[in-house]
Amino acid sequence: MSSTPELRVDRVACTGHGLCATLLPERVHLDEWGYPVVEDPHPGRAEGEQAVTFCPARALYWADRA
């Protein structure tokens, strides 16, 4: 059975640029330190791919639900 991948943030790799929140404002917000919190891990594939591609720290990634 195939599952829908989730958008996740590697908290160690993230450097707090905030581009993900700019590209996905309805799905990602920044915490008080400027690091992303993914509110909805299931954005449209195209918009999610754009955020993953343009993340300067390569901290956004797709993961299969466990």
Which tens digits make up the pLDDT trace of 19-48? 999 999 999 999 999 999 999 999 999 999
Look at the pTM and tell me if it is higher than 0.75.
yes
> What is the rounded average pLDDT of the residues 1-14?
88
Q: 56, 3, 14: which is closest to 37 by C-alpha?
A: 14
Using CA atoms, how far apart are residues 21 and 52, in angstroms rounded to an integer?
12
Kind of pairing, strands 60-63 and 6-9?
Answer: antiparallel
Give CA–CA dist 2/37, Å, rounded.
26
Tell me the C-alpha to C-alpha distance, in Å, between residue 28 and each of 1, 2, 37, 39, 66: 28, 25, 6, 6, 21
Domains in the chain, ordered, with CATH? 6-63 (3.30.70.20)
